[in-house]
Amino acid sequence: MKIGELAKATQCQVETIRYYERKGLLPETNRTERNYRVYGPGDVDRLSFIRHCRRLDMTLGEISVLLQLKDASPEDCSSINNLVDDHIKHVAVRIQELKSLHKQLINLRNSCAGSGSVNECGVLSGLSRALVEESNRSILNDRLVQGTHQVSGRHKAA
Amino acid sequence: MKIGELAKATQCQVETIRYYERKGLLPETNRTERNYRVYGPGDVDRLSFIRHCRRLDMTLGEISVLLQLKDASPEDCSSINNLVDDHIKHVAVRIQELKSLHKQLINLRNSCAGSGSVNECGVLSGLSRALVEESNRSILNDRLVQGTHQVSGRHKAA
DNA sequence: CCTTGACACTGAAGCCGCTACAGGGTTTCT
DNA sequence: AGAAACCCTGTAGCGGCTTCAGTGTCAAGG
């Protein structure tokens, strides 16, 4: 099968496949006489695996490690489980951060009395002040949160 | 005051200040004879505002809009509130996505019986299959989640 | 047989919000 | 006077792609 067919089979964009190849997640394939990449069912499996991992928000680095463990088929699965456990922790931390953020934003929003002028509004002045509440200060503290906004490429395309 | 002092006053890195200037969030300042940027108290306010917004994970685009509204001081604050409301929605959506993700990961992790071989483990095979549960399928569906992993620059520095 | 359109290829640049570095000049302190 | 600490510009890097420019290939229809 050619790259376009693989793309359809895995719900993945053609460019993304080539990108994964460059990054070493997919092996370099055989080529046709005319230099087209040729894939087999094993490639569908491997790419599906990668995409599922990405959907679980693992980094390409983590996925790389998983693929190596998978390829090596070691005796026990503890290294895989450790990786997954770590990832679960990442996600849990992000959720806590975002919850704290959400709380702060709601507080901020509530500081607007109604439809008065900006000067009376409280939201802008709230933004001018440090508005970290006592609530979750220890978590959010001084760091930036990041990651609320989705990268939109896939959505536009799909 | 010079750029380093502004940086200290706002807990912001010097390079970030110059970056904001390039991006148009901070105006181009006066310069000394020797071409050093010179800032006043108004700049501290403006940069603090920007940093607080960033701490609330707004994009520079959103902050730009807020700054314009702030500068223009319109009659009512509804446009500001709308922006903040939208942002709150973004955050809420991200939290839901991450919760669903977390659930899926826990399920995946539980599919490992114990310390058997990888073949029996279930985690890898789970990753090979689509493992979106019925639970939150509508939300996560086919899209990538992203943003679990923090960009670490600031932490290293601080 | 020729054209049109869909597909394939490479390489480079763009997105976000910075960070970091190279390679200079200036100021401040000892 | 010399060293450390600051300032400047410009460029490249991070992740995970996307997009674009420019070219080549292939199957179907007129």
- Three-state DSSP state, A26: coil
Q: pTM score, two decimals?
A: 0.76
CB-CB under 8 Å, A77 with B148? no
Mean pLDDT over A100-105 rounds to 84
Asked if residue B1 has pLDDT above 90, the reply is: yes
Query: Which is more confidently placed, B37 or A112?
Result: B37
**Residue B65 within a domain:** yes
**Residue B78 within a domain:** no
Of B31, B49, B72, the residue at which a domain comes to its end is B72
**Residue A132 within a domain:** yes
**Residue B128 within a domain:** yes
Range of the domain at A138: 103-151
* Residue in A19, A98, A101 to test binding to B, most B beta-carbons within 10 Å: A98
Contact between residue B145 and residue A55 where contact means Cβ atoms under 8 Å apart: yes
Residue for token pair 């996925």: A63
CB-CB under 8 Å, A147 with B104? no
Tokens of A28: 């370099």
pLDDT, tens digit (0-9, with 9 covering 90-100), for A45-57? 999 999 988 988 8
**pLDDT, chain B, mean:** 78
Q: Where are the beta strands (DSSP E) in chain B?
A: 30-31, 37-38
**Cα separation, B51 vs B41, whole angstroms:** 15
Report yes or no: B113 at the A interface, CB cutoff 8 Å. Answer: no
Say which CATH number the domain at B33 has.
1.10.1660.10
Do A67 and A107 fall into the same domain? no
Contact between residue B71 and residue B114 where contact means Cβ atoms under 8 Å apart: no
**Residue A10 within a domain:** yes
Cα first-last separation, chain B: 23
**Residue B108 within a domain:** yes
**Residue A83 within a domain:** no
**Residue B80 within a domain:** no
Q: How many domains does chain A have?
A: 2
Asked if residue A17 has pLDDT above 90, the reply is: yes
**Cα separation, A17 vs B144, whole angstroms:** 16
Report yes or no: B124 at the A interface, CB cutoff 8 Å. Answer: yes
Contact between residue B9 and residue B43 where contact means Cβ atoms under 8 Å apart: no
Do A66 and A117 fall into the same domain? no
Work out the pLDDT band at A3, boundaries 50, 70, 90: very high
Work out the pLDDT band at A148, boundaries 50, 70, 90: low
